[in-house]
Amino acid sequence: MKKNDCLSAELRVLDDCFRVTIIEMKDIAEKFHEAMLDGLTRLKGPLKMLPSFFNIPTGEENGVFLSVDFGGTNVRVSLIKLLGDGEITVLKKRSTLLKDPGGSYDYTSSAATGRELFSFLAEQIVELVGANETVPLGLTFSFPTEMQASNKAVLIAWTKEFNTRMVEGRDINLLLHDALQGRGLHGIMPVAVINDTVGTLLTAAYVNPNADIGSICGTGHNTCYFEPLPPRQPGPMIINIESGNFNGLPTNDFDRYLDLHSEKPGEQVLEKMVSGRYLGELMRLVVLDLVHKGCLFPGRGSDMTGFPFQTNSLSAEHISLMLGDESLGLSETAAWLKGSTGIEELSLPELSALKTIANLLTTRAARLVAATYAGVLRRLDPLLKRPHIIAVDGSLYEKMPGFATNLRLAMDDVLQDRSGQVTLKITKDGSGMGAAIAAAVAGAFK
């Protein structure tokens, strides 16, 4: 079979492999809803349904607060002023990578301890506000935690390939408090700890009371929502679903291979299919399969280094490059491939195939996420009688070409004639601003 014929045939197979039909979306939504109910009643299942101990803000909270946003790739520290009437001002901010690309430090690996990691966070705070400030602090911590109070959260397990020692099973806010004390920051008071999805929802709800679902579509993936009747809880509160661990999904051989070779096989199945941390590696596996079949990059042996033979040599940023490349002959993609693989000449069908594969993966991701949103809406408002805002933050939703559009189209498919009741709203830096709002809400209810 000629190379182009082989490529065309394999692309048709991949289209079937990664397609998510409307029927499948509705089935996923129902399974997700059932898993939510199981988690709320503490039956064993994939969704942890963790209480946050935070209600929706009134929009009138005010004051100056310190926000620490601990995400998948960096830590962001901000001094934020809440003005009331839904208005927020960022006075100053600082962002630092948790892993130095040059290799001088890596606080995400087993080479570092929790004490070292949180001492690093304290260093970022003192660089921003100095040692003599007195200000309440809210921490957004973007990993599965068991919330025991508004200011107490125990890390259940690392995700996103983090493996820092002596953190799992410990109180995150206490680790931060001790680090602050160790740096002499006695006036910095950590009063609230939340998940990034909760922060995103708090930020959107501070501006608009119709916001009742928050979601992260970035390096990782998770969703939360406002639960009016949480079982065994003192009152209405935001529930952190930990939806990235959902596993009632149609997986294929590429998904299963990626999962098997990940840090924690069998966990975070949805996240491994939809998040920026894994989409690049998933695409690399697809491309590598086509290379081995002789349909792409002929003559490239498995002894070659770089993409596609080297693990994690493709990132979400590279996928964005391919999807956004509108140049004649996909020249931007070709230039990147030449630099990363040494391939001097690539045919237009090969370059187009790469873009097609990127589109298949990101479209599937959007449709899987939309199906889970539909599952949440079944819990909140089965007949969609009232308006809802889903607040979304994260680089995938904001920057990946076509992702936001595909997510909207997928919502229309799964919700059909009631889709107009649901608005998807970008909530930039929701996790950071949400930490400040959480600190304000925590203070208001003391």
pLDDT tens-digit map of 85-138? 889 999 999 999 988 888 788 888 898 899 999 999 999 999 898 888 889 999
Q: Is the pLDDT of residue 301 over 60?
A: no
Whole-number average pLDDT of the chain: 91
Rounded CA separation 248/441 (Å) = 35
Q: Is the pLDDT of residue 1 over 60?
A: no
For 35-55, what is the mean pLDDT? 91
pLDDT at 444 (0 to 100) = 57
pLDDT in tens, 135-158: 999 999 988 888 889 999 999 988
Cβ–Cβ contacts within 10 Å for residue 87, how many?
A: 12
Q: Quick check: 284 and 341 in contact, CB under 8 A?
A: no
Location of structure tokens 């045939």: 9
Q: Is the pLDDT of residue 426 over 50?
A: yes
> Would you identify the CATH topology of the domain 59-194?
Nucleotidyltransferase; domain 5 (3.30.420)
Q: How confident is the model at residue 299 (pLDDT cuts 50, 70, 90)?
A: low
| Domain ranges within the chain, ordered by starting residue | 1-52+196-430, 59-194
Cβ–Cβ contacts within 10 Å for residue 317, how many?
A: 12
Which of the 8 DSSP states describes residue 293? Answer: T
Rounded CA separation 138/144 (Å) = 17
CA–CA–CA angle 214, 29, 381 (5° rounding): 60
Buried b (16+ CB within 10 A) or exposed e, 35-63: bbeebbeeeebbbbbbbbbbbbbebebeb
pLDDT-wise least confident of 25-34, 36-45, 198-207: 36-45
pLDDT at 446 (0 to 100) = 44
Q: How confident is the model at residue 3 (pLDDT cuts 50, 70, 90)?
A: low
Location of structure tokens 């995103």: 200
Q: Which of 34-38, 153-157, 261-265 has the highest mean pLDDT?
A: 34-38
pLDDT at 215 (0 to 100) = 97
Tokens of 237: 């509160």
Query: In percent, how much of the chain has pLDDT > 70?
Result: 96
Q: Is the pLDDT of residue 198 over 50?
A: yes
Tokens of 98: 């948790």
Tokens of 79: 């001094």
E strand or H helix that includes residue 260: helix 253-260
Q: How far is CA 342 from the centre of its chain?
A: 33
Nearest partner of 442 among 207, 226, 228, 149, judged by Cα: 149
> Would you identify the CATH topology of the domain 1-52+196-430?
Hexokinase; domain 1 (3.40.367)
Q: Is the pLDDT of residue 300 over 70?
A: no
